[in-house]
Structure 1
């Protein structure tokens, strides 16, 4: 995922990333000014310092990338927020740069070993899921699991959604519904996988999305949504409801994933208190506080 790409707009040179549990490589790829390239500063957001650690090169002393072809690793132990900023090397200098966030996935052997021990991290996004969203001014947009449609980096009115998962387990049943502020026909009606819920070309934004899953104890939804003038909403579980503070705010971004429930969430451990498990994935957001919602 590119954070900055060849832009000189100061307002676009500061990003706030919402990172879930995992490893992430912050990769400073290139800069327009090769003589005096801008520097990239990386730091946890205030109050999130204990949720993550920044792993530097042995010769580095601070989490600053001074030139292209450099990088660092962020280890996130619990969902938190990371700040990434590009600053010019000199007054009036260029801020045009390409910085990427690349998730580092666990190896197959590690995952198998964790499952064999009855513990470990299994929050790996389920492959094969496709999410379609109809975005005002752009038309239909199709993404994979845990990818934004519109969203914090490019908020825009979302007028309908559809989910496709050709490789889903036979026992799993998924339904979903959307709601409109004006009670448009079809508002709140649950539909099965593959069915489009919403409108096209009528300028009717969605004000809520409901996701339901049954037939499995091993999977859950992990979803985030942005509503106009409201913090990003996050919800996980077999049934999630995404809506703004007043249930009337237009939906301006959404991402949906289906993840395995960690074994530690399902197996009793009498010898030690149960600890909350994290989830996995990444995304960009502007300077707004993050709101976490329990599945309803």
Structure 2
């Protein structure tokens, strides 16, 4: 790879993905971004361009294209400066376009049994809902929630196929320091009550044993805006820590970490230094993890 370009590869599962050139360090002379299937993966994916575009190159931030992947394959993302010695720093997001069920953009890894196409399928979230009883959903699905708020009195997480070495614990909190409030329990255990009309006022989720995964959770509390939290340890509670929980959804996703591309064979000049960051999109209200 030459001084004038940077490149990284991203493994994509079967699906539809939006390649979004979000920002550049040099806004006056931004680098351009070109995407292409890796050598030998040309038949696995199709790049869909804007009707006015003639090549899979994004010339400035706030532009994008779509990649349709029929068989899991590797996409190359290459960044080149606009001028000699120009900036090569760009932020590119790979955003899955959902159709039916969620899929995860995966990064190549063998640690903790996380293979290139691993997802969090198999994760189950149970919630005990007042008037309905136990409700079990998959990852990123609401229990009660915005369209059907109802008091949630307990939760449990199950993940039989979790990666080896990954440890997950969680706790619920009650108002007035009721017994069991804040007590961490392991994966598979139930935290909360049943049939006691004792509302939950907070949920704590923790994980350890991996640098690749994080919780992505949302919760609704009575008369409060929906709260979203992302991280290895997340705490969900209302504005005063006393509002009852009336909806929750929990997912586990790969960390959208900015990765430094491989260094070129020749040292770069300081003026041309930079990096391309390619990672999953997050909603606008949260900052990308770097």
Which among 167, 173, 180 is matched to residue 167 of structure 2? 173
Tell me, in whole angstroms, the C-alpha distance in 1 between the residues paired with 2:68 and 2:208.
28
Name the counterpart of 1:107: 69
Larger Rg: 2
User: Is residue 114–residue 120 contact of structure 1 (8 Å, CA) maintained in 2?
Assistant: no
1:268 aligns with 2:271: no
Name the SS for the 1:187 alignment partner: coil
Report if the CA contact (8 A) 2:93-2:280 is conserved: no
Is the contact made by 2:258 and 2:278 (CA closer than 8 Å) also made in structure 1? no
Pairs within 5 Å for 1:22-61: none
Q: 1:293 to 1:240 in 2, by over 3 A?
A: farther
Q: Does residue 257 of the first structure (1) align with residue 251 of the second (2)? A: yes
**1:219-258 per-position Cα deviation (integer Å, ceiling 9, x unaligned):** 1110000000000000111111100011110000000000
Secondary structure of the structure 1 residue equivalent to 2:73: helix
1:238: which partner in 2? Answer: 232
Runs of 4+ in 1 over 6 A off after TM superposition: none
Aligned to 1:200: 194
CA displacement 1:91-116 (0-9 Å, x = unmatched): xxxxxxxxxxxxx996364x631489
Over the aligned positions, Cα root-mean-square deviation in angstroms equals 3.4
* Structure 2 match to 1:43: none
So what's the TM-score if we normalise by structure 1? 0.55
SS in structure 2 of the partner of residue 113 of structure 1: strand
Please tell me whether the aligned partners of residues 226 and 252 of structure 1 are also in contact (alpha carbons under 8 angstroms).
yes
Calculate the TM-score normalised by the size of structure 2. Answer: 0.56
The match for 1:144 is 138
Task: Name the structure 2 match of 1:15.
Answer: none
* 1:135-185 C-alpha deviation (Å, 9 max, x unpaired): 000000000000000000100000000000000001100000000012111
Q: How many residues align?
A: 184
Q: Extract unaligned runs of 5+ from structure 2.
A: 1-16, 19-50, 52-61, 79-91, 95-103, 107-118, 262-272
Maintained 8 Å contact 2:151/2:246: yes
For 1:184 and 1:294, the matched residues in 2 are separated by 37
Contact 1:123 1:261 in 2 (8 A): no
